[in-house]
Structure 1
């Protein structure tokens, strides 16, 4: 008893340690529901609990050996003497009691409440699994989005040509200041330039965005066709098996085309044995043999329509991203421009210079082409001078 009392009063150090670590993990999961995987780090410290358990076992085992010694040398002789004294006063008493219990309920309230909680838990189990799966996927999705945002930010701050194709309000103000100072302007844009540069809120897409839009839409159609083929094959197999079951639902019974009768005459044990055999043979001839039994039919399971609905929802989300993804991607530049206004001003100045330089290069190329053509056709020097100016 001393060892048990020691363990009961002090408690098992390993069990207490495990309980506190589990409570710490539960508190961590309640505080971080989306990142609950981090809380499993606490469980790695359970190795220390085993070390504590070794020390506690040694401490509480000393009274156990003392108890064994006392029980063997003192308690056993005293117990035997008391048992002999008690045997002198033993007598038997018989008691007969009749009772009747009538219950109007098959289950108690506790059992009913437990059954209700179990039913609710079974009904909510798919939702719990879906939430766990969503939490796992969302962690990696957030990590991937964070990486893309960092990568976009680095390119935005370092590369002037990266995603610098938008004619914003600040760009218009910059062009107006250039006009007030007598410097060359770029607005309004030409028809060719409007296909390359556009406002952030414009509904039309640039050439690069249209190419990316078409590629994403092609991938969506390819995967949707593959998924539709799999669903169609699944439902076709079910329809074919169900058709077989329907066509073979009738039971086919075969009978003997002709029968013959055998009779045995005589008396004695041998005659009775042969008569029994002949009667069994006659019974088999008159019986019906089932060639195709209902027991052997295949029972096809209908496809799970909830799976089809889930696949349709995923394809719908993918289609939404394909259609509106290009427009939502423009918000990245707006966020960076709000956090880095000086850098946005530098990029706008660079874009303004690029548009003006491209126009000058285009005019220079046209001028050189015209001059070369006039020189080749042998025109007068007067026209060459006019063209050069």
Structure 2
């Protein structure tokens, strides 16, 4: 075939009317190139609706509406009754909320074809990044309510165990300090006991000395009383009779006086009595006896008392002893908080540091709901772009593309098939297992992010189980008791009941090993970890596995969107196939080839020989550049659904209400002027598309006219 032949599949002799009318996607009226009907574009009158159409419309518009309103009214009455009975209002949750959502979705599916299309599109979109994000969000919700919460509970258990262990350690240190001080305390106690015993002995000796002293004092008191009695007798005697000397002198004086009285003048003879008075001096020594008694009372008794006092003081000093203990040991603990408060502060600090983490997990349910809405938004966005932009994500070869190529093959025009080597990397069949370069790049990028997320989830679950395993091992080995016999040691037995034996027994007991009767029971302080929920692990693993399955099915799931849209909107799918066909042909076209075709079209006055403009050629060549697409815009204009030729002046629209099929005049004539989209194969003469199971009946109603309930022709 020559390099500069036309791309049109229409014979050169075909003529078309000169008018041109552009229809919008939402129009349902019948339009042609001219305002008046023509043989090439007949406009049949509207047919009256059949009973089947009326029943279908009544069901979809009235019955379903009443069902939705009735169901919502019933739910509202149930909630009002709950408020009346319980006195409080509570939104639906759990299983009831899920059932309500399922019922409403089912009712809306029955109500609108658009809703059915959107819900069907949401299924393959779940294989995209939005669906995986929803699954990963749900997995993180399970992680937050399962392993993460279990880790925090085990941290609390560990903190309580550490607090209990520190309390036991504190008591053990106090007891060990007592053990360290026990020898000194025992010596002090033994010495104090000995001193107490010595004091008891001293008190007994002192009591004995007091008794001896009392006896001596009694004897001395008796002697003193006797001497006082003798002295009193002497005094009485001296008082009554005077002293012997005085009485002797008095007798001598009385004798001299009586002699003088009796002798008168012979008084001189009476001086002989002086000799008698001289004899009185011989009895004067009798006065020395009283003097000796007084001397014995003052000297002998004083000496005896002094010696006795010295004896008692000596005995007292013999048993007097003073023991002074000088021991300096300082051990102080300064704690502003007790161990329970310390453990509580640790947990508060952990919660404070993980506040952002908890906040994120707290909003995960909201994020999950937003992602569900986002999936629906993506379905709406894809539907809108699919219907309005033929070039949006249009790189898959479909059955419509093949039909266009077969149509061009019949007219011996330039064909897009077979594809070139470079084109096969970019355009593939929609049912092919091979991936394009763009799909491979997107798959690898998604694998990287999903791998990181999976590793994070695995690390959290692994940390939960590892933490539980460590605490379980601590509890297991901490509860094991070792039966270790106490090493034998020598014991000293002190016999006797005396004071010295008691003192020695106390000293010996003080120096016995204290550890022989010391033990600490750490069982109450062992951690009791919370067992992980292994069922939750399976749920998390299932979400991750499903996300990986969605990842590998993402390219095929995104292709499935085109198949769904082709089922609901076959006319638009045919137009997109024609657009892709022309796009491939334009990308193959060189600039020189475009100039030759324009020159030939201008020379021959054949508009079909020049279907493309320079702007279309530039758009096709720069389709991979976003900036160029933004500046040049998108190629507009309809193409024939059969041959893919851009329509200019030979545009023919289908006259069936709701059908948006557009043909060139040549293809429409070859189809017997019958639309192959909304009509049955028996109507346009293609018996190869007839299904024997459906159209083998002789019933004339087996091939019916399309109506509003037809999924292919209903207005969106």
TM-score normalised by the chain length of structure 1: 0.51
Find out whether 1:329 has 2:395 as its counterpart.
no
Kindly provide the CA deviation profile for residues 27-73 of structure 1, in whole angstroms up to 9, marking residues without a partner as x: xx97982339x9xxxxxxxxxxxxxxxxxxxxxxxxxxxxxxxxxxx
Q: Which of 437, 446, 468 is equivalent to 1:216?
A: 446
Q: 1:306 to 1:160 in 2, by over 3 A?
A: same
Q: Does 1:342 align with 2:555?
A: no
| Cα separation, 2, equivalents of 1:293 and 1:226 | 37
8 Å contact kept, 1:197–1:206:
yes
Give distance in 2, aligned partners of 1:303 and 1:331.
40
Aligned residue for 1:152? 382
Relative to its length, the structure with more helix (as a share) is 1
Equivalent in the alignment of 2:548 = 319
Instruction: Report SS of the residue matched to 1:33.
Output: helix
The superposition leaves residues 85-106 of structure 1 with CA deviations (integer Å, 9 ceiling, x where unpaired) of xxxxxxxxxxxxxxxxxxxxxx
Contact residue 242 and residue 300 of structure 1 kept, 8 A: yes
Distance 1:246 1:20, change over 3 A: closer
Question: Is residue 2:52 matched to residue 1:18?
Answer: no
CA distance in 2, matches of 1:195, 1:363: 26
CA distance in 2, matches of 1:227, 1:20: 42
Question: Is contact 2:82-2:88 (8 Å) kept?
Answer: no
Q: How far off is 1:245 after superposition? A: 3.7
* Counterpart Cα distance in 1 of 2:520 and 2:496: 36
Q: Secondary structure at the match of 1:347?
A: helix
Secondary structure, in 3 states, of the residue corresponding to 2:99?
coil
Checking the alignment, whether the CA contact within 8 Å between 1:166 and 1:200 is kept in structure 2 is yes
Indicate which of 560, 564, 581 corresponds to 1:352: 581
Distance 2:495 2:462 in 1: 66
Contact 1:253 1:288 in 2 (8 A): no
1:251–1:293 contact (8 Å) kept in structure 2: no
Alignment of 1:80-95 (within 5 A): none
> After superposition, where does 1:104-123 map in structure 2 within 5 Å?
none
Where 1:172 maps in the other structure, the secondary structure is helix
Give yes or no for contact 1:252–1:290 (8 Å, CA) kept in 2: no
Q: Does residue 34 of the first structure (1) align with residue 264 of the second (2)?
A: no
Identify which of 420, 423, 426 aligns with 1:190.
Answer: 420
Task: Say which of 305, 316, 319 aligns to 2:534.
Answer: 305
Work out which of the residue numbers 410, 413, 416 in structure 2 matches 1:180.
Answer: 410
Aligned equivalents of 2:82 and 2:551: distance in 1? Answer: 55
Q: Structure 2: which 5+ residue stretches go unaligned? A: 1-79, 105-364, 595-716
Q: Does 1:143 align with 2:209?
A: no
State the partner residue of 2:460: 230
Secondary structure of the 1:321 match is: helix
- The 3-state SS of whatever aligns with 2:432 is coil
Quote the RMSD (CA, aligned, Å): 4.6
2:430 counterpart SS class: coil
In structure 2, how many angstroms separate the alpha carbons of the residues matched to 1:217 and 1:15? 51
Aligned to 2:522: 293
- Contact 2:400/2:573 (<8 A) preserved: no
Change (3 A) 1:252 1:241: farther
Q: Bigger shift: 349-358 or 179-188?
A: 179-188
Number of equivalences: 252
Pair 1:315–1:169, CA change in 2 (3 A): same
Alpha-carbon shift at residue 159 of structure 1 (Å) = 1.7
1:239 matches 2:469: yes
3-state SS of paired residue (1:154): helix
1:169 counterpart residue number: 399
1:218 and 1:167, CA in 2 relative to 1: closer, same or farther beyond 3 A?
Answer: same
Aligned-partner SS, 2:519: strand
CA contact (8 A) 2:468 2:532 kept: yes
> Take 1:143 and 1:348, find their aligned partners in 2: how far apart are those partners?
30
Deviation at 1:201, TM superposition (A): 0.8
Q: Which structure's CA Rg is the greater one?
A: 2
Report what 1:380 is aligned to.
Answer: none
- Unpaired runs of 5+ in structure 1? 1-13, 39-134, 366-389
Find the residue that maps to 1:184 and give its secondary structure: coil
* Per-residue deviation, residues 159-196 of structure 1 (Å, max 9, x unmatched): 22111111111111111212222321111112221111
Does 2:316 align with 1:250? no
Matches within 5 A, 1:345-384: 345-361=574-590
TM-score under structure 2 normalisation? 0.30
Q: C-alpha separation between the residues in 1 aligned to 2:587 and 2:420? A: 12
Is the contact made by 1:245 and 1:298 (CA closer than 8 Å) also made in structure 2? yes
Partner of 1:374: none
Q: CA deviation at 1:226?
A: 1.9
- In structure 2, the CA distance between the partners of 1:191 and 1:286, relative to structure 1 (3 Å rule), is closer
Question: Structure 2: how far apart are the matches of 1:194 and 1:325?
Answer: 20
